[in-house]
Structure 1
Amino acid sequence: MIDPTSTVSSLLRTHATERPDDEALRFGDVRRTWSELDVRVRRLAAALRAEGIGPGDRVAVLDLNHPSCLELSLACAWIGAANAVVNFRLAPPEIVYVIGDARARLLLVGPEFAGAVGQMRDELGAVERVLHVGGEAGRSAGGTGIGTDEYEAFLAAHEPDTDPYDAGPGDCFVQLYTSGTTGFPKGAMLTHGAMLAHAAHVAADFELTPTDVVQVAMPLFHVGGTSYAFLALAQGARIVMARMPDPAALLDMVAAEGITHTFWAPALMGAMTQVPGAAERDYSSMRAISYGASPMPLPVMRASLALFGPKLHQVYGMTEACGVVSSLGPEDHGDPAVEHRLVSAGTPITGCTIEVRDPATGERLGTDEPGEIWVRTDQLMSGYWDKPEATAAAITPDGWLRSGDGGHIDADGYVYVTDRIKDMIVSGGENVYPAEIERVLAEHPSVGDVAVIGVPDDRWGEVPKACVVAAPGATVDPEELLVHARAHLASFKCPKTVDVLSELPRNPTGKILKKDLRAPFWAGRERSTV
């Protein structure tokens, strides 16, 4: 069990001292032992300090998965700063917002995004230096040299730092952005104590040991990527990182690397079941396949069970809790007598307490009574960066996180997530808040009124749909509205369809009844969320 007083930096030093020659990280042809990783992190820490970056400062990464992002988070832990990992799927205005909100002073950029960052550079006011990671793709992009690797030289110019910041459990070292009901992302401040508590709790329930091999398949901007990497690091397990979640490549990696634990999104698993020859591959090393972050269609779940066997763990969680808070284990996936539990989120993991409360009064509700899911755990973030009011709204004075998800708990203690208090849409593992989309659509001159809902989708679980009313004297062209959305939003946030209505349903106080808009699309479905 991890010492609760440990820091991320002290754990890395321990692994480097006790197991210096054991492999810590593998990424394509790159191999790092624990001692090599430790030296690189401390060189990076020295380089950051030479740039004037210190306690409380933020740096950022805009890249596909790469070891430099993990190294940067570890170096931030060493000097008291924090790494704000940017969702590379965001549209340029959203990227500018996140980097500006974090007040990032240094930005690491992968070759695929070098050109875009060059175009938005003047809008990144707080960024003092852009550092390019990776070279080949950058040099081939028009022959300009944009994106030519600068990272390795940045490290090599400095000797390893020997003076770690005296971090406490409540110090933030990773900042992951989660969308908000205001329409703008919020930076969840994840701390040494919270991240290590999550690692200890998940490792205990999923039987993760230092001899295991953990595949990091999901993007590091997502808690399912970064927290999963730190789960492995905390235990001293070997990390095998994929740059992109390619279905066939990830399946091949299982046998080639002896993967024992992984986390995949349901949409990815659906694609995996369609990979030619998937059933002929060797998955014998796998002990735990976690899935979550978006709805799991039951046909995909059954196909995954047939392909991988009884190794599935459905997980429910949130960025604000560093990841997983409940799990539905293999025993519930494989027992026909409890097949109804396949639509549940399982039971709380070690170290987490889950209750259903009345969202208006905070009163604890009884068995099968619907309400808002509340979570109490030492995995919680310290708050939202620079947003005290949002923090106070999310975390109660006595330490409960209000998830914003609606649901109930049955007599056996299984949690069912049946609705979203805040109308959040989860599409392909990404959280999408209607307010973000509504804010953009409302700016179009043809739109007089708008509501965005999530509707079922066989591939992504659910996708956004816009329900609009034309402005007086105007006519709404759905395709024109979709083009407008694509110009201002990431593709996964854009509505896939537009319905033009004469009016939106409202209650007597004027609130839009989104449940009435959703009802025809979800009729006959066993659940609308996971």
Structure 2
Amino acid sequence: MTLDTLAPPVFLQDRLDHWAQHRPDAEAISFGEVSYTWGQWRPRILQLTEALRAAGIKRGERILTFDLNHLAIIELTYAASALGAGTVVGNYRLAPSQLSYVLTDSAPKIVFYGAELHSVLETANAETPLPRTIVIGGENDEFEAFLASGTPAGGDERTVGKTDEEVHPDDTVLVVYTSGTTGTPKGVELTHRSINMHSVVANHGLGMGPEDVSMVGMPMFHVGGSCYFQVGVYAGAKTIFLREASRPAMMQAIADGATHSFIVPAVIQAVLAGGPHAAAAFAPIKKIIYGASPMPLPLLSRTLVAWPNTELAHVFGMTEMSGIGTMLQDSDHRNPSRPEILQSVGRVLPGVEIRIADPFTHEVLPAGVNGEIQIRGGQNMKGYLNKPEATANSMTADGFLCSGDIGHMDDDGYLYMVDRLKDMIISGGENIYCPEVENALMSHPEVAEGIVMGVPDPKWTETVKAVVVRAPGSTVSETDIIAFCRERLAHYQCPTSVDFVDELPRNATGKILKRDLRAPYWSGHERNI
């Protein structure tokens, strides 16, 4: 039996049912010291479904989890989905006021939270009264007792824990809040249909099967964690689930047989910075999928040299499409006749439509012309929670999702992501795309990390500023950086000033918070891009 011969999953739990029936003794999941076979794990989720039902959770309602990666988050997502309820996966790095916003916006019926995050939740409670709370982990763990309160899964298998008949494939399963790098976070509603379709699409490129082992270290509040997790379940692969994507934890998972993982470029950089031993520990992995933020070409070159036998796959995706939609395969990475495609995010995966269009008129643009990347397919979101106007504005009349990303396609169908629409710098009427400048900046041997952004300028409206982390021991100056860029770029593209910092601010998924860096410069100005 191959994956292609199986009926496509309709509900989130369908593949759990399948593997529990056909491979009950195969290991499904390991999390720390806990591991379950498919046959062991499925009854826990059935029982948890009944515990949520007994607690009054109904179709259309929501629960919220607030913790670092924990098996309970996955189990609750499955269990709630069988009732037609959604799981809001809270970002454990939120400040109390931010958490209060999410609580108010999503209105969960129960909050399941990690014991170590009690103080954050308690402070948030002063602003937004909490519903029922249940502690996950620690000395006062309440989750296991809550799960045990459900009807035992050994009851009537026709009804216990199964997906309710009134549940629809377009019911919300996950609410994932956008990172807020460009404004107030929005709750993206992902459904049974969209998540399952993403698993089908993604695995066309990943090629996972029951013999593989998926390492999941990205946080569950990011689709690179929550929806990537589902690809492994779809494929019947064992999942090694990490509390955090620390280098030692990932090295141990690879030693334990992990074959596939999705990680962000910042993690790759950290691994390579760990020296030859750390790089060698990652060498056995079969396939590394990277995305969520740009990979500077100098770092990519180092990665290709460090792991010659590991397949690399660069992907483009977003929360609103449940994950990824394009992939640059390893054969593309190592194709000496087409070095330019290393700057692309690959080609569209089967089941996804992508076009380049004018961001205002939605007129489709020809190959090679930059415009907005727009996506259509079954993996697109249901919409933004409680924001019908924002939902409507995110879609075209013919059903394409407006990504807010600028890019173009070449004649061979390779997609090049040039910049975020809101990050593009317009200096003296010239469009400046940050990644092009950043690639030049990062090629300087004394630059460990660097970004560029637009700052106000009385003559040109805005001009380019670089923010740089020097390499260890470097004393490279502002003058040196500007001169280096001017040798490689048009004058108008080059930084006119450089700030040096010890580290760049990032969110939990590795994205650099340009909005935080820009804010002091645009304070008091009408325009803040």
| TM range, smaller chain | 0.7 to 0.9
- Shift of residue 249, structure 1, vs aligned partner: 2.5
Q: Distance in 2 between matches of 1:228 and 1:221?
A: 12
AA aligned opposite 2:66: L
- Match for residue 264 of structure 1? 263
Q: Distance in 1 between matches of 2:360 and 2:396?
A: 13
Q: Distance in 2 between matches of 1:337 and 1:247?
A: 34
| Alignment size in residue pairs | 450
AA aligned opposite 1:191: T
Listed as ranges, the matches of 1:201-350 within 5 Å are 201-256=201-256, 258-276=257-275, 277-281=277-281, 283-284=283-284, 286-309=285-308, 310-350=310-350
For the pair 1:38 / 2:42, whether they are aligned, the reply is yes
Q: Distance in 1 between matches of 2:238 and 2:393?
A: 38
- Match for residue 158 of structure 1? 150
AA aligned opposite 1:65: N
Is the contact between residue 464 and residue 495 of structure 1 (CA under 8 Å) also seen in structure 2? no
**1:388–1:40: structure 2 CA closer, same or farther, 3 Å change rule?**
same
Is the contact between residue 232 and residue 239 of structure 2 (CA under 8 Å) also seen in structure 1? yes
- Shift of residue 181, structure 1, vs aligned partner: 8.7
- Match for residue 108 of structure 2? 104
Deviation per CA, 1:422-458: give whole Å up to 9, x if none.
3399xxxxxxxxxxxxxxxxxxxxxxxxxxx999586
Q: Distance in 2 between matches of 1:7 and 1:358?
A: 36
**1:182–1:496: structure 2 CA closer, same or farther, 3 Å change rule?**
closer
User: Match for 2:27 among 23, 30, 52?
Assistant: 23
Q: Secondary structure at the match of 1:79?
A: coil
Q: Which moved more, 1:164-173 or 1:63-72?
A: 164-173
Deviation per CA, 1:288-314: give whole Å up to 9, x if none.
210000111222212221222251100
**1:385–1:282: structure 2 CA closer, same or farther, 3 Å change rule?**
closer
- Match for residue 183 of structure 2? 183
Deviation per CA, 1:161-199: give whole Å up to 9, x if none.
345222322111111111469832111111111111111
**1:3–1:467: structure 2 CA closer, same or farther, 3 Å change rule?**
farther
- Match for residue 134 of structure 1? 137
**1:169–1:278: structure 2 CA closer, same or farther, 3 Å change rule?**
same
Q: Distance in 2 between matches of 1:131 and 1:409?
A: 49
For the pair 1:423 / 2:423, whether they are aligned, the reply is yes
- Shift of residue 61, structure 1, vs aligned partner: 0.9
Superposition CA RMSD, Å: 2.9
- Match for residue 356 of structure 1? 356
Deviation per CA, 1:90-133: give whole Å up to 9, x if none.
222111111211111111111221121122223333x4211111
Deviation per CA, 1:50-93: give whole Å up to 9, x if none.
22111000111111101000001101111110001011222221
Listed as ranges, the matches of 1:387-398 within 5 Å are 387-398=387-398
Deviation per CA, 1:247-290: give whole Å up to 9, x if none.
2321232122x111100000000001122412433633x33210
For the pair 1:495 / 2:516, whether they are aligned, the reply is yes
- Shift of residue 461, structure 1, vs aligned partner: 6.5
- Match for residue 433 of structure 1? none
AA aligned opposite 1:419: D
**1:229–1:460: structure 2 CA closer, same or farther, 3 Å change rule?**
farther
AA aligned opposite 2:220: L
Is the contact between residue 188 and residue 381 of structure 2 (CA under 8 Å) also seen in structure 1? yes
AA aligned opposite 2:262: F
Structure with bigger RCO (C-alpha 8 Å, 6+ apart): 1
Q: Percent identity?
A: 37
Is the contact between residue 69 and residue 220 of structure 2 (CA under 8 Å) also seen in structure 1? yes
Q: Distance in 2 between matches of 1:468 and 1:175?
A: 40
For the pair 1:83 / 2:82, whether they are aligned, the reply is no
Q: Distance in 2 between matches of 1:326 and 1:209?
A: 20
AA aligned opposite 2:142: E
- In the superposition, the TM-score normalised over structure 2's length comes to 0.79
Q: Distance in 2 between matches of 1:492 and 1:181?
A: 8
Give runs of ≥4 in structure 1 deviating > 4 Å: 179-182, 453-469, 489-494, 496-504
- Shift of residue 3, structure 1, vs aligned partner: 3.1
- Shift of residue 497, structure 1, vs aligned partner: 7.3
Could you tell me which runs of 5 or more consecutive residues in structure 1 were left unpaired when the two chains were aligned: 137-147, 426-452, 470-481, 505-509, 515-530
Q: Secondary structure at the match of 2:324?
A: strand
**1:243–1:54: structure 2 CA closer, same or farther, 3 Å change rule?**
same
- Match for residue 149 of structure 1? 141
- Shift of residue 420, structure 1, vs aligned partner: 1.5
